Amino acid sequence: MWALSAVGHRRLGAAGSLAVVGGGWFAGKLPVHDPWGLWVDHGSAVKAAGAVLAYVGLTVLVVAWWQYGKTAATVRETLVTLAWWTAPFLLAPPLYSADVYSYIAQGSMVVEGHDVYTLGPSALDPGGIGGDAAASVGNHWRDTPAPYGPLFLLLSATVARTTGGTIVPAVLAMRLIALVALALIVWSLRRLAREHGRSESRALWLGALNPLLLMHVVGGVHNDGLMIGLMLAGLVLALRGRWITGSALVGLAVMVKSPAAVALLFIGVLVHAAATGPRWRRWAKGLLAPGLVACAVAGGATLISGTGFGWLRTQGVAANIHTALSVTSDLGLGLGKVAQLLLDVDANPVKSAVQTLGLAVAVALILLLARRAMRGGITAVHALGLSLLLLVALSPMVQPWYLLWGMAVVAATEQYGRLSALLAVLSAALVYETHPMGATPPYGFVLAGLAVLLGTLTIRRAPVVPPAVLLPGRRGPADSVADRDVSSAAAGQQPAARSAP
């Protein structure tokens, strides 16, 4: 039956995507004012019905993705499936977040000459460029300076200038940037998987076809996708010996969002391993050279954008917003309230101390992973994936899509095992945490918890992995040519000759 094949799951997932977008058209994060009259509020009853439809579609998409992972689909089939599942989101209103309105408003501020690292979107004239976007920004961000790098603000300013800040074309232009980021992620995942002797189709399934990425990078237009794409591309080049260009790309990724800077440490591990000469020279080159290249890129991007170096002081502004997914913030808040009750002291310093401790532990663990990678106990790129996951787990602010930072790396570097299974379960669960309009209602956590439970029980009975991946020495006919070539190379054989396209 087609319903049990890769093609069947592709069609089922496409139907789920259509339902998500159909519901999101009425229950997504609609702008306060749309002069085109396309994304408008139709009342609470229609909004509730749209939300139900979106949740049903999301469940269908998650099930299709999960089942698709059990098929031995080729790279070509997976790319076609990704196109099918992505297409419905192209013209959708913003889903699951209002962040894209912040991007447009901040770009408008750059165009208008405001200091985005001192002022928030509320500084814009309501009747001027970006005024509609500023009015649609979430309450937490209206008076908050931009935490993003100059490269992204330059892109946002280009969008605002080109579209005049008009909501619909501005959002669609930002989504076009997200699609370019998705294409870069796909390109990089395939090559990283090849470099590590992993299945390209499996890497694409977990790292690109993932509903968490579709919901928040394509639907929600989060700039994390661009950061990840640039970072992964930099790693590909570094692995091929072009570490200067790779470090430059990672520097551009940092100029979108700062967590990409962790990748420089592990590019340094690669540089150290390949360097020759005295020991001190190899250490100096590995520890300093990638960072110096990235700093030069960051300085150039800052000067070209004209936004100034204020981004250096705004990287911690997000920590002021409490998110329930942050373990250190939850623990700090709880301990702070206990200290307030028992000792009559301010709770905030206690919370800040716990958050700082969490980051310190994350840094220590990342350095340990770098040391292990330098000694050959783990590949540098896989160690980066683990490091980003640790950074998210111990960060003072955690959003569902932050999981994508490390998962995209692990998807291409780990032979499918417990970590990949855990990431698959978390991906299937975290999509439920956020309402289509961007809120985080209590029932979202209940749905996410149920998804974790069902995913765990299901994966214990039938792992989400096709036989071709369970038995890497016995590749099935559905594997891609590139995957078979990797297996041949690992066995010391020459790849089979290919006919001309």
Q: Annotate 156-183 with DSSP letters as a single string.
A: HHHHHHHHTT-HHHHHHHHHHHHHHHHH
247, 286: one domain = yes
237, 361: one domain = no
244, 123: one domain = yes
User: 19-33, 309-323, 331-345: lowest mean pLDDT where?
Assistant: 309-323
Residue 187's H or E segment, with its range, is helix 167-195
348, 304: one domain = no
- Residue 12 inside a domain? The answer is no
Q: How many Å apart are CA 206 and CA 420, to the nearest integer?
A: 8
Q: Which of 278, 312, 346 is the last residue of a domain?
A: 312
Which CA distances in Å does 160 have to 109, 131, 151, 216, 438? 9, 11, 14, 21, 23
Please name which of 272, 260, 229, 288 lies closest in space to residue 384, comparing C-alpha atoms. 260
Instruction: Report residue 243's pLDDT band, with 50, 70 and 90 as the boundaries.
Output: very high
- Residue 6 inside a domain? The answer is no
127, 228: one domain = yes
Query: Which pLDDT score, from 0 to 100, does residue 466 have?
Result: 64
Q: What is the mean pLDDT of residues 116-121?
A: 93
- Residue 183 inside a domain? The answer is no
- Residue 481 inside a domain? The answer is no
* Backbone angles phi and psi of 395, in degrees to 5: -80, 150
148, 227: one domain = yes
Q: Which of 253, 288, 312 is the last residue of a domain?
A: 312
Query: Which pLDDT score, from 0 to 100, does residue 316 have?
Result: 76
CB 124 within 8 A of CB 136: no
233, 371: one domain = no
If one counts the domains in the chain, the total is 2
- Residue 290 inside a domain? The answer is yes
- Residue type for 217, please? V
Q: How many Å apart are CA 427 and CA 488, to the nearest integer?
A: 32
Query: Which pLDDT score, from 0 to 100, does residue 107 have?
Result: 96
160, 118: one domain = yes
Q: How many Å apart are CA 185 and CA 169, to the nearest integer?
A: 24
Query: Whole-model pTM?
Result: 0.90
Q: How many Å apart are CA 134 and CA 116, to the nearest integer?
A: 13
Q: Which two tokens stand for residue 135?
A: 């009015």
- Residue 140 inside a domain? The answer is yes
Q: What is the mean pLDDT of residues 85-101?
A: 95
- Count of C-beta atoms within a 10 Å radius of residue 189: 27
370, 242: one domain = no
pLDDT in tens, 35-67: 898 999 989 999 999 999 999 999 999 999 999
- Residue 70 inside a domain? The answer is no
103, 150: one domain = yes
Residue 413's H or E segment, with its range, is helix 403-413
Who's near 158: CB < 8 A, 6+ residues apart? 107
303, 330: one domain = no
Q: How many Å apart are CA 254 and CA 239, to the nearest integer?
A: 19
252, 303: one domain = yes
Q: Which of 312, 347, 364 is the last residue of a domain?
A: 312
Q: Which residue segment(s) compose the domain that 386 sits in?
A: 326-398
Compute, in degrees rounded to 10, the torsion defined by CA atoms 423, 429, 435, 437: 20
pLDDT in tens, 263-297: 999 999 999 888 877 877 788 788 889 999 999 99
Residue 404 in 3-state DSSP?
Answer: helix
- Residue 258 inside a domain? The answer is yes
Query: Which pLDDT score, from 0 to 100, does residue 483 have?
Result: 42
How large is the greatest C-alpha to C-alpha distance in the chain, in angstroms? 77
